[in-house]
């Protein structure tokens, strides 16, 4: 696999530190709200990276954190009159729901910052002890940027640009040695959560949380760190400075950053009224269509989110579902005959589509080209599999299709949801299931009786090779 490394600004052949194993750290959400479509892009992208590495035989340790203590969370909790933990618990639960709807697998580990305070304090203490950090007059602890000559190597930021965004503290700092220095530990203010530390009660800064959590689970040096391009500076730059300043070892070998999302050709922002959470989008579309949209472009390219783009992605995804359902229907009645010469040629072409898929994914995760490989397989299957095809041929093509779509996280459900479609009442659903069972048993009289009963209650039934579809009769 070749990866574009943000640190070296070029594509590099991926070589893991430990043969056959890969350690990945992906920056997760700050849990003070539902996550938005901009957050969804890295979650989806690096979920696919993990899946492809597993397809290639690697044992992947995938770590994605929850930032469950920071300024925004404290402010939001105070506004609602609840604790920060209550706020965090609410939005972590929401994350699981929305991530599952997007087809995002749980990480190997999902560490929370508040559960790693001892590791954070120990890391800050190492930096204080070796001169990379100092304690301010009010009990805040700062990272001394001048003590780390390599600062700026990831982002390419010049010295005069370092101050901007270097500290996420909302108030004006008064006791820094240098404006570019950033906070590692924040002294407690009235009404804020705090933990005891050698510098007095306080809480961690955002950047040090990720350094502590990543090294806890992946070691002082690991393979891949990934996240959105917006995190490159200052967050990831500061992670490098902190961690390498403490350990004296390289922090990460490969840095991967995804591009930005625009909405209707404008930068997404609350002030423009084009800020959408994933939960907002779920009211309009099956979120698998959002996943298809995200992966239809290269992860490093900016993409434009619009209703038309999501609809196009939904149509493409439906083609995949239709192809899968057709192959499943053929498989049910396929004869156990030997492969014909034509079928053997088809399976050779399928191997070629698999090679195209893997070559695309190994070229810096080119998911758009990988999707085209799947559609090549679909077109060939639609043209050359039919009611006379052998069970072995249909099964082999279906297995290949399922393996490739599984890497991208597509076609993992019975069907795409239609948010505009009303859920069937329980009575109607049970009648529909009974009718499907009657058809399978070739009890045509009972099947017709149930169809008529459904129609009398205002529901029509459409039969196809993919099964029956029950919907309300429109007046």
Average pLDDT over every residue of 323-330? 97
Q: Do 45 and 146 share a structural domain?
A: yes
Q: Do 438 and 378 share a structural domain?
A: no
Q: Do 402 and 464 share a structural domain?
A: no
Q: What mean pLDDT, rounded, does the chain reach?
A: 92
Q: In the numeric block, which tokens belong to residue 13?
A: 């052949």
With respect to residue 293, please indicate whether it lies within any of the assigned structural domains: no
Q: Do 389 and 271 share a structural domain?
A: no
Average pLDDT over every residue of 242-255? 98
Q: At residue 36, what are phi and psi to the nearest 5 degrees?
A: -100, 175
pLDDT at 14: 98
Q: Do 144 and 192 share a structural domain?
A: yes
**Interatomic CA distance for residues 67 and 140, integer angstroms:** 20
How does pLDDT run across 368-416, given as a tens digit for each residue?
999 999 999 999 999 999 999 999 999 999 999 999 999 999 999 988 8
Range of the domain at 459: 426-472
Q: Do 241 and 186 share a structural domain?
A: yes
Indicate if the pLDDT at residue 101 is higher than 70.
yes
Indicate if the pLDDT at residue 426 is higher than 90.
no
CATH number at residue 352: 1.20.120.640
Q: Do 328 and 274 share a structural domain?
A: no
How does pLDDT run across 175-232, given as a tens digit for each residue?
899 999 999 999 999 989 999 999 999 999 999 999 999 999 999 999 999 999 999 9
How does pLDDT run across 428-459, given as a tens digit for each residue?
888 988 998 888 888 999 999 999 999 888 88
Q: In the numeric block, which tokens belong to residue 416?
A: 């795409």
* Distance of alpha carbon 245 from the chain centroid: 30
| Bond into 457 cis (ω within 30) | no
What Rg value do the Cα atoms of the chain yield, rounded? 27
DSSP string, 326-344: HHHHHHHH----PPPHHHH
CB of 471 within 8 A of CB of 459?
Answer: yes
Indicate if the pLDDT at residue 165 is higher than 70.
no
**Residues contacting 302, CB < 8 A, separation 6+:** 259, 260, 261, 262
pLDDT at 160: 53
Q: Do 400 and 252 share a structural domain?
A: no
pLDDT at 108: 98
pLDDT at 167: 43
Residue 25 pLDDT level (bands cut at 50, 70, 90): very high
What CA–CA distances, in Å, run from 2 to 13, 15, 26, 222? 4, 9, 19, 17
Q: At residue 465, what are phi and psi to the nearest 5 degrees?
A: -65, -20
- Note the pTM of the prediction, 2 decimals: 0.87
- In sequence order, the β-bridge partners of residue 61 are 23
Average pLDDT over every residue of 41-52? 98
């Amino acid at each position: 696999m070749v990866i574009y490394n943000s640190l070296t600004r070029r594509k590099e052949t991926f070589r893991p530190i430990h043969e056959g194993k890969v350690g990945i750290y992906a920056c997760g959400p700050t849990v003070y709200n539902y996550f938005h479509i901009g957050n969804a892009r890295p979650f989806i992208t690096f979920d696919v990276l993990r899946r492809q590495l597993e397809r290639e035989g690697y044992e992947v340790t995938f770590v994605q954190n929850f930032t469950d203590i920071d300024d925004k969370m404290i402010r939001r909790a105070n506004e609602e009159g609840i604790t920060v933990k209550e706020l965090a618990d609410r939005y972590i639960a929401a994350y699981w729901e929305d991530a599952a709807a997007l087809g995002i697998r749980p990480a190997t580990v999902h560490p929370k910052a508040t559960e790693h305070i001892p590791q954070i304090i120990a890391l800050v203490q190492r930096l204080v002890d070796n001169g990379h950090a100092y304690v301010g007059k009010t009990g805040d602890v700062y990272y001394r940027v001048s003590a780390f000559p390599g600062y700026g190597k990831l982002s390419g930021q010049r010295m005069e640009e370092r101050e901007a965004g270097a500290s996420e503290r909302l108030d004006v700092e008064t006791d820094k040695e240098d404006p570019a220095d950033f906070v590692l530990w924040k002294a407690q203010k009235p009404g804020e959560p705090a933990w005891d530390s050698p510098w007095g009660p306080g809480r961690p800064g955002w950047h040090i949380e990720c350094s502590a959590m990543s090294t806890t689970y992946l070691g002082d040096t690991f393979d891949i760190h990934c996240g959105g391009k917006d995190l490159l500076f200052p967050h990831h730059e500061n992670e490098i400075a902190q961690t390498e300043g403490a350990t004296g070892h390289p922090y990460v070998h490969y840095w991967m950053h995804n591009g930005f999302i625009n909405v209707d050709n404008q930068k997404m922002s609350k002030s423009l009224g084009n800020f959408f959470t994933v939960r907002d989008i779920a009211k309009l579309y099956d979120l698998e269509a959002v996943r298809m949209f995200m992966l239809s472009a290269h992860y490093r390219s900016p993409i434009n989110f619009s209703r038309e783009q999501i609809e196009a992605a939904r149509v493409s995804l439906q083609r995949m579902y239709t192809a899968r359902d057709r192959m499943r229907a053929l498989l049910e009645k396929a004869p156990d005959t030997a492969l014909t010469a034509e079928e053997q040629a088809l399976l050779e072409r399928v191997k070629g589509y698999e090679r195209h898929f893997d070559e695309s994914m190994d070229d810096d995760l080119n998911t758009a080209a990988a999707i085209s490989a799947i559609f090549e397989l679909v077109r060939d299957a639609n043209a050359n599999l039919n009611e006379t095809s052998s069970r072995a041929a249909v099964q082999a093509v279906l297995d290949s299709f399922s393996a490739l779509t599984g890497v991208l996280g597509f076609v993992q459900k019975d069907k795409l949801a239609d948010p505009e479609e009303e859920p069937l009442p329980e009575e109607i659903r049970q009648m529909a299931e009974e009718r499907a069972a009657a058809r399978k048993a070739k009890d045509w009289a009972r099947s017709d009786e149930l169809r008529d009963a459904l129609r009398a209650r205002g529901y029509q039934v459409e039969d196809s090779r993919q099964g029956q579809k029950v919907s309300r009769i429109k007046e």
